[in-house]
Chain A
Amino acid sequence: MRKTRRWSAHGLLGAALLAPLSAPLLAAGPARAQAPAEEALIREPALISMVEAPYPPAAEAAGLGGRVLLLIEIDATGVPTAVEVLEAAGHGFDEAAVAAARQFRFEPAATASGPVPVAIEFAYEFALAPAPLPPADPAAPPTPEAEAPVNLTGTLVEMGTRRALGSTPLQVIGADGQAQDLMSAPDGRFEARGVAIGAAQVRVVAPGFDDTPTTVEVTAGELTDARIWVKNLGYRDNEVVAVYQKKREPEITRRTLSVAEIRRVPGTFGDPVRVIQNLPGAARGPFGLGLLVIRGANPEDSNVYVDGVEVPIIYHLGGYRSVINADLISSVDYLPGGYQVKYGRSTGGVIDVQSSRTYEDQDKFTWKTDVLDTGLFYKGKPGPKDKWGVQVGARRSYVDAFIPLFTRGSEFVVKPRWFDYQVKADRIDKGQDELTLFAFGFQDKLFIQTPSSFAQSADQDTQGDLSTTYQTHRQILSWTHPFTDTWSLWVQPAVGFDAIEAGLGSSFELTQSFTNLSARAELRYAPSEALTASLGLDSQATYYKIEFAIPFLPSFDQLDDPLAEREPFRQTIDGWYFSPDPYLDVRWRPLGDRLLINPGVRLNTLKIGEAKALLTLDPRLGARVAVGPTTAIKAGTGVYQQPPQGQEFGIDEDELNVNFERGWTHEVGVEQRIAETGTLDWTGFYKGLDRLIVNNPDAEDATVDPIYVNEGVGRIYGMEIMLRKALVDRWFGWVSYTLSKSERNDYPERSEQRTAEGVVTRGPEAWYDYDFDQTHILTVVGGYRLPRDFELSGRFQYVTGNPYTPYDLAVQDLDSDSWAPIQSGAKNTSRLAPYTALDLRADKLFTFKYWQLEVYLDLLNVVRGENPEQLIYNYDYTESAVVRGLPFIASPGFQADFRF
């Protein structure tokens, strides 16, 4: 009796794939793709690697068959993330089908924006075929293969990844030269009968694989079993493409890039977060430090999240490395504007780093080293029953270890360093429930030891060592539970701790600590495909404690008097502030996939001490219309408000003198798909800012007068273009261009005021270009994949220079021996020369039996312009010079991946 297993996924899988396997017994019944996307699918998921389920022995013995209907959730990389039995068959069929489906691999579904996660229904049929008919002539001799016993078995294993190569054609050539053509089973196993005694040759004959034969010694009277290692001729041709787009949500502007593209952009050190600096809307920070200047906003006006939990900074000291290990990142949502109400407390952009939840069959250990740091990372399913997926990583920089080697003879000791860690556990056998525990943290430290005889300045209080330490830790629990087809709940409590410690000499000490208790919850109601409503809460409760010791000056009006006597002053300020922000987000598709309307509203709250609570409302509206199969128009408008920040609270916690800063953003855009792999994305935007917090020019006594007032206004407007070719046919690339203007006026309502030189400093005409206003930002990135896993890539950048305020004269204070400059022009009316640079990168992947090694060389600033980063003056402001950007840097590194 022969047994067969049949499967189908109706309307989803490519006919060519289905036909040879399921034509005889296609199951009936409805099936559909359930994409959480509001954007139309342009490509359905296709099964590219199937694993056959073993036929349950008891059922086989009893002659039973069955049909199991599964719901398979597939992520944007084509990997099943959850498998649920919708219709059970019992008799062991359900367990067998689920186990097999977990090992499937798909080509992911895609919208015009790129691959997306979907859920599909999948019918897996188990049937016993009729027993084969007896031979027509029982006396006829059987064929030699059928007659001979199995004397050679083996497993095809891909080198480096240790993946079993299922359904792969191979050839076994015995010592007598007789060849047998075979096909490996889904688990990579094969069997050969009657192989001649002696040295046999086994080789894979599938395209894309090295066909060099492996010699196996076949011994008489024994069953020989061999593991056949097979080298893939192009591992990167099969590289999983994860995309900056884990969840399809209707932000008006969202940039998507594949991890494969990201890792090969020169200058990013393979860090997905740093790639953002090459996307439209992101201005270039000084020295490439990674300051998040998004659409002309102050860096502090943009928020950064990890799995939806806010973190204060995203880059380590120097901006070269993000604080989350790149191996743990599955996607990065870069939202320069027009984002949903689930994000708040920001008038700038948003970056949300999403951690990975997918796990391969093999556990993986990664060792990565370059000029900056070394990191170790483990990802796998350590338990016996694959209940939990675990990721553990840690990195440490060693700049501090090397610097003393180059500063011998100097009494100065400079020790910058960072350390970070991540521990994550995902429950992966809970069906549609998602349960995740995630802890991560980092510490950045800068220590400069100064010789005791070295006078750093005339100020006695600033002599001595400088040290600063920054640390952040987060522990996150995330649980998603679908109650029914229409109701689901996401809950995410988190505990965090941030601290900054700084010290200079013996008199300056500053310690700030923030203990954050945050909670996010979202109740989602989706009564139909046309409507989804989410009621959420984004709550923060923070205990802050600020301790500082300074050589305090006795009165406010003596702050600028170097002759004033000093008294050591120490103070501790602590308290709580609360910000429980509810929001409601609705996604309505009245015309199916052709039209999405996304209204939302968020209530911003801030309660600190006994001060009166601040309450403001952010209404937002977004829309997206598909005007053709390859064209979409998008538009959005909304209010974005940001609470006063720590130092703006004031010392008296019972009185909060400033309110939320406010931005009103409008944007409209077009997305055009070009051929199969290209996209053109154009967005125009305008953002009006008001109630910006500025220094109170009337403050005379800091103990009485408010230091800050909500008087500033601003306007930011421009357009962004991104023309991109995805990583297909060996090359990828994009051109990103931003044309924008960012202006501020700190005191528009005050009467006009001019300096002696006629410079307008206040009043309705006192607009000035913001510090990071960069009119033109052009980035061109491209990469080409050569044979044998060798790849070249490059990046060119042109950025308008930053504005600065010109000075050409100063007045000397003889008591402090310092000079106060006098403006020779209005604020920020001069500009530095443009920044231009060309970076290159080459990398090569080597594959061994048990591991893979990637080596790479980043060549930064191969060609560069003058690249002034900053204008500096001599002591009396009569001379100036530019500080140039980084010189040519060659940065080698490697990454080793071990799978087991």
Chain B
Amino acid sequence: MSKGKILVIDDEDIVLMSCHRALTPEGYDVKTAKSGVEGLKMLENELFHVALIDVKMPDMDGMEVLKKIKERWPDVVVIIITGYSAIASAVSSIKLGAFDYIEKPFTPDGIMSVIKKAISQKV
């Protein structure tokens, strides 16, 4: 029984791989998408508890994806991954409905604690 279903959306493979490798052993069901469009498609077909979304992506940026998810699946907990250690972008993402944000580069423990908080809030 998985602890929760997590969707990671990032254009960088290494970030997707890192999240997958960090979270899977802890009992989470991790799926990845390489773009916002792909991620939204997956959300239409499957139910996810948490979505980890990179802010900066080529076709559709993280804020856009966040807005769309909040419109259609308000129950999905969104965590923003940001490369900018910017309070401003973090604040604006939270205003848009994100649960929290995490800065790159993150450690397995770091992402775990954020996910744990998110799931517990959900439950």
A and B from one complex: no
The interface of chain A, by Cβ under 8 A from chain B, is: none
Interface residues of B (CB under 8 A from A): none
